[in-house]
Amino acid sequence: MSLPMRVGLGQFNELTDEMCQFIKQMGCDDFLMNTPKLPGDTGCWQVEDLAALKAKADEYDLRLMALENVPIPFYLDIMLGGDRRQAQLDNMVQTVRNMGTVGIPILGYHWIPASVWRTPEPERLRGGARATRFHEAEHAEASLSFDRQYPAGEMWDNYCWYLDRILPVAEEAGVRLALHPDDPPVPVLGGVSRIFGSLEGFRRAMDRYDSPNHGLDFCMGCWSEMGGHENVMKGLDTFVPHGKIIYIHFRDVKGTADCFHECFIDDGQVDTFAVVQRLHELDYDGFMIPDHVPATVGDSPWHHRGRAHCVGFMQALIQVAGKLQPKVA
């Protein structure tokens, strides 16, 4: 089934009736879950637990498009080349097969064993809203995240070891793997090299593992951190025509990779309307979700108000782009 470019929701880990209702109320039919709270004692997600998520989505006539990020302990030794990587691979193979069995079509993943880094004190935005920030200089004395340093060549070799083995399974299961950028996209943090923080890094991965079942979770905020509006547009022009952008995290920042803060989606350094226009011109048919949003007054821990603002903004961009550039049937 071919669908148009559209807005969804995500970045929550429990699928409740209230959440399903909110997604519908926002005019969305698609959603993803980030590190869903599922039993994981065996190191993989079981068919019955995944099927329950899919059944809940179906109950509300929603499309569960993706599960984003298994818990890092599920594949930490895979990323670092540890002693348990084969056992973890076996579990990841089973997780991918189980997702295919129940009809969840996308697994978002990253190659960030030390996780996302931010600097503790938040940035103050308009009206006192708060947003996360990163200032690399304030982490200069940070200790090693693991037992030693992990150079870029080793991280790439470990990545290839994994993709060589997991991608054929994904192809067989009908599951697409979507790679998220390093966040923040600086060369090294905590002694661990970050290899997916540039256009060249993604091109290397997409060229080596060129499959309809492998592409990008295009985090616009990270691409903005890498080089602002021009870099975002270059990424779209490089990967959308080849079907390599599976879905989009629609967020923005002010600053550069080593010093930035997040912001409201209407107040960043990327021309978001130009982005949506380009996606429209390139016939992008995936979905996009609000990602990190500022904390506003009286909001919930998941930031319902901030996400509702972002959803409305995104939907308006798509509608206007379609009216200005109508497609010929």
Q: Is residue 196 part of a domain?
A: yes
Q: Which of 56, 17, 14, 52 shows the shortest CA–CA distance to 36?
A: 14
pLDDT category at 234 given cuts 50, 70, 90 is: very high
Q: Is residue 262 part of a domain?
A: no
Q: Is residue 132 part of a domain?
A: no
Residues of the chain above pLDDT 70, percent = 99
Q: Within a 10 A sphere around the Cβ of 256, how many other Cβ atoms? A: 18
Q: Within a 10 A sphere around the Cβ of 124, how many other Cβ atoms? A: 13
The token pair at 128 is 């006192």
Q: Is residue 236 part of a domain?
A: yes
Q: Is residue 263 part of a domain?
A: no
Q: Is residue 264 part of a domain?
A: no
User: Half-sphere exposure (CA, 13 Å, Cβ side) for 301?
Assistant: 2
Q: Is residue 29 part of a domain?
A: yes
Number of domains composing the chain: 1
State the pLDDT at residue 1: 55
- CATH number, domain with residue 167: 3.20.20.150
- pTM for the model stands at 0.96
Which pLDDT tens digit goes with each residue over 175-228? 999 999 999 999 999 999 999 999 999 999 999 999 999 999 999 999 999 999
Strand segments, DSSP code E, in 63-213 are 63-68, 106-109, 119-124, 130-135, 176-179, 188-189, 192-193
**289 forms bridges with which residues in the sheet?**
249
C-alpha to C-alpha distances, 32 to 108, 126, 146, nearest whole angstrom:
9, 29, 30
Say how far apart CA 157 and CA 315 lie, in whole Å: 41
The answer to whether 216 and 246 are in contact (CB under 8 A) is yes
The answer to whether 325 and 281 are in contact (CB under 8 A) is yes
Mean pLDDT of the chain: 97
Which pLDDT tens digit goes with each residue over 240-280? 999 999 999 999 999 999 999 999 999 999 999 999 999 99
Say how far apart CA 175 and CA 167 lie, in whole Å: 9
The token pair at 84 is 């348990």
The answer to whether 30 and 24 are in contact (CB under 8 A) is no
Q: Is residue 157 part of a domain?
A: yes
Higher pLDDT among residues 299 and 3, named by residue: 299
Q: Residue 235: which domain range?
A: 6-117+142-253+269-324
Q: Which residues does 285 contact at the CB level (< 8 Å), separation at least 6? A: 2, 3, 4, 5
pLDDT category at 327 given cuts 50, 70, 90 is: confident
Q: Which of 99, 199, 110 shows the shortest CA–CA distance to 159?
A: 110
